[in-house]
Amino acid sequence: MSSTTEPQPALRPAAPTSLAVDNLRAVVILLVLAFHSALAYLQFLPHHPFPFTGSPMGWRAFPVVDEQRWLGFDLFCAWLDVCLMSFFFMLSGLFAWSSLTRKGGLAFLGDRLLRLGLPFAVVILFLMPVTQYPTYLQSTPDPSLLDYWHKWQALSIWPNGPVWFLWLLLAGDIMAAILYEAMTGRRDVIVRLSAYARQQPARFLGALLALSAFGYTALALRYGTQDWVQSGPFALQLCRPLHYTVYFLGGVVVGACGIERGLLAADGPVARNWKRWLVAAPLTYFLWAGMTGLVMNQGDAAPLALQTVADVSYAAACFASCFMAFGVAVHFARRRFVIADSLKDNAYGMYLVHYFFVVWLQYALLAFTWPAIFKWAMVFGGTVAASWMVTTLIRRNRLVGSIIGAHRKPAIIAVRPVTPPTTSSTGLAR
């Protein structure tokens, strides 16, 4: 009987969906920087900085408070608050199953601990104390560096800035690895679910929306929509963990059979219906904003039915905005863009370091009475340029580059060639 060698996958340039999702990462990192650059100029903020000590430590979300405001930033930041973190969870889940299949559960976890856990610890321990110093300067009449350090050490928590999100992503990856190992011999179930999502998109998306709405509403009615809990550097918004879990696992299912062949394929239902998503996203967002405004106006006296409608509308707005982003990207951004290549290569590093530049630039502009939108443009532009440059420089270190994203070649996908039938010594095909 003749022996054969297992054919190796051939490589070809990534198909349109892979490029579109890759380009979407470049856009999303700019949205993150734009979001944080606008926080000092929100209309609803008090006209004084939050005190550095004492409860509720509002400076954790708004480290600098400027007297110049613009209502448009409230609408912009509220929209991103509705959908951005959920989008990140789904985006992370899209590639989890293929990575688990390629590496195995243990190696996958080791990789995620290095890529998520280590940067989380480094930023928390070393970068955040320097980043939050302007908050202390703005709220303290007689500041000193030594006094700041004493007050920092006396805080009941360890401020984490935007990297609070990383430990939740790591928790999602741990959950995926446990699921993968527990499903030994039955892992094809996930692939079949992925195929079902492509074949029956309305049912799958309806189930995703229903589950996320149930998870969010149940916790929002119990804990409210604004409460956070934090222990040390680990923070969690109490109304959202089930909602995030649904989006992460939804991403795992969608990506299990490959995004090129699944729900997000270039000829798939999400891309084909991009116009509908483009209409649904603003409609559901303003529905949520209106319902939430009514609840806030009535406070504790708001009827349970009204609170429930507001919470369900949040889930609907998040759902529509996330799939609008995917649909528009897959339809329009299915080719390479030179500037996007550099931006997405540096996106993770920019996420890790950008908050330092945001806070210090916002603080530096406090003395000027320029319009809020002009200040925002300066903070945003300066943050993009500085964080991009710093990330490009530190990625030249091989170790750092391997953690936050070494220089990447054009995306590729594997194509396994068809294996011709082999013949036995009797000449019969087997």
Q: What is the pLDDT of residue 429?
A: 34
**Reported confidence tier of residue 367, pLDDT bands at 50, 70, 90:** very high
pLDDT at 55: 78
Lowest mean pLDDT among 12-21, 150-159, 277-286, 380-389: 12-21
The 3-state secondary structure of the chain reads CCCCCCCCCEEEECCHHHHHHHHHHHHHHHHHHHHHHHHHHCCCCCCCCCCCCCCCCHHHCCCCCCCCCCHHHHHHHHHHHHHHHHHHHHHHHHCHHHHHHHHCHHHHHHHHHHHHHHHHHHHHHHHHHHHCHHHHHHHCCCCCHHHHHHHHHHCCCCCCHHHHHHHHHHHHHHHHHHHHHHCCCCCHHHHHHHHHHHHCHHHHHHHHHHHHHHHHHHHHHHHCCCCEEEECCEEEECCCHHHHHHHHHHHHHHHCCCCCCCCCCCCCHHHHCHHHHHHHHHHHHHHHHHHHHHHHHHHHHCCHHHHHHHHHHHHHHHHHHHHHHHHHHHHHCCCCCHHHHHHHHCHHHHHHHHHHHHHHHHHHCCCCCCCHHHHHHHHHHHHHHHHHHHHHHHCCCHHHHHHHCCCCCCCEEEECCCCCCCECCCCCEC
pLDDT tens digits, 257-302: 888 888 999 889 999 999 999 999 999 999 999 999 999 999 989 9
Residue 380 has pLDDT above 90, yes or no: yes
Q: Is the pTM of this model over 0.85?
A: yes
pLDDT in tens, 117-140: 999 999 999 999 999 999 999 988
pLDDT digits (tens, 9 = 90+) for 39-78: 999 999 998 999 998 778 899 999 999 999 999 999 999 9
